[in-house]
Amino acid sequence: MIKSELKKNMEFYINNYDKTTLDLKTENIVNKDKMFIGNKNKRKCRFCGKEKGETTFKKIAHAIPELVGNKILISFEECDDCNQIFSKLENELANYLSFERSTIGIRGKTGIPIYKNKKGLRIEHDKENKNKFTIQDWDNSGNVIEDITDSSITIKGERNPYIPIAVYKCFVKMALSIMPNCYLPYFWETFDWIREENHSLTENMPLKMFEQFIPGPKPFIDIEMILAIRKCTSKEKSPFGIFLICIGNICYQVYLPFAGPDTDDDGQRENLKFLTLPSKYTLEIPEDDIHSIPKDFSSSERVKGEKTNITYSYDEKVDATKELKNE
């Protein structure tokens, strides 16, 4: 993507949207970093509307999944039944992010997952030193490609099989979890949609997602989120609700389907104008490095064997064979 286009997008969002931002610390966490949504003593689930007595609230509900690194934001507004539904969506997100979590180093409940494929590739992060990781591979496997001319190595991997619509719902669920109360009534159909487990409800508009990759050593140490809600004064036909979450090196941007204000008088939803919302680093990085990849997550069919890759550039190369032999 070219920078001038992103600058225009930035202006578009400033003029037409109200933004709520939230950052979550993922490292060096102390007890006072913990944040809570809702009232512990007056429980009501924001997803199904049930109160204590009608449903239970025994489980600790993470407003943002632990698998993307959230250890501090807990919701008192998510009942056990809804939590159970969402945990299935989170499994699909974990499948989708299987390669990224290992290569970028995103710590979940049980640390940074090890990535393995059938062709001998293994990526494992050091338990003591979080910036160190080991890539194991067979010679000439094709998993790891080195480019000496620009001092980089590219690792080719595969995502675990995932259901696209479930992954999308998981991102939308995060947006609804952190959404200020005043906006919730506009999304009552969206709540029904994320809780519908057969994935039979479909929108006219494709479930489009933008993925922005920001190069460099983990630019987003915190989880950074933006919830953008279209201003009531805006005349633009763009989605009412947009959510961006940045983790490690990647920002994922979804729109919130089934929003009331996106429906016209006939109950129809048109194809809305959906633009990349630049992350805070996008406008600072060199022109060639700006990637915003549009993807379609509308399908409820499991996607198998999807290829993906990551490129690391290096400053220096050291022969570590001796070190490895001594181990």
Residue number, 89 or 247, with CB nearest to Zn ion: 89
Residue number, 84 or 151, with CB nearest to Zn ion: 84
Residue number, 78 or 224, with CB nearest to Zn ion: 78
How near is the Cβ of 83 to Zn ion at its closest, in Å? 8
Task: Report the residue from 13, 17, 47, 193 that binds Zn ion according to the rule CB under 5 A.
Answer: 47
Q: Which residue has the tokens 């059938």?
A: 118
Contacts to Zn ion from residues 48-67, by CB under 5 A: 48
List the Cα angle 223/314/288 in 5-degree steps.
Answer: 70
Task: Candidates 40-48, 59-67, 129-137, 289-297: pick the segment binding Zn ion (CB under 5 A).
Answer: 40-48
Instruction: Using DSSP, state whether 156 is helix, strand or coil.
Output: strand
How near is the Cβ of 36 to Zn ion at its closest, in Å? 17
Task: Candidates 39-47, 161-169, 210-218, 265-273: pick the segment binding Zn ion (CB under 5 A).
Answer: 39-47
Task: Report the residue from 82, 123, 242, 256 that binds Zn ion according to the rule CB under 5 A.
Answer: 82
Structure tokens at 18: 């109200």
Q: Quote the CA–CA distance of 135 and 79 in Å, as a whole number.
A: 41
Amino acid at 101: R
The answer to whether 175 contacts Zn ion (rule: CB under 5 A) is no
The answer to whether 73 contacts Zn ion (rule: CB under 5 A) is no
Residue number, 52 or 231, with CB nearest to Zn ion: 52
Residue number, 26 or 75, with CB nearest to Zn ion: 75
Strand order across the beta sheet in which 35-37 lies: 35-37, 73-75, 61-62
Structure tokens at 1: 């993507």
Task: Report the residue from 45, 73, 165, 170 that binds Zn ion according to the rule CB under 5 A.
Answer: 45
Closest CA to 75 of 174, 169, 166: 174
β-strands 35-37, 73-75: how paired? Answer: parallel
Taking CB atoms within 8 Å and a gap of at least 24, the contacts of 179-182 are: 179/20, 179/227, 179/241, 180/20
The answer to whether 167 contacts Zn ion (rule: CB under 5 A) is no
185 contacts: CB under 8 Å, gap ≥ 6: 260
Instruction: Using DSSP, state whether 193 is helix, strand or coil.
Output: helix
Interface ranges with Zn ion (CB under 5 A) = 45, 47-48, 79, 82
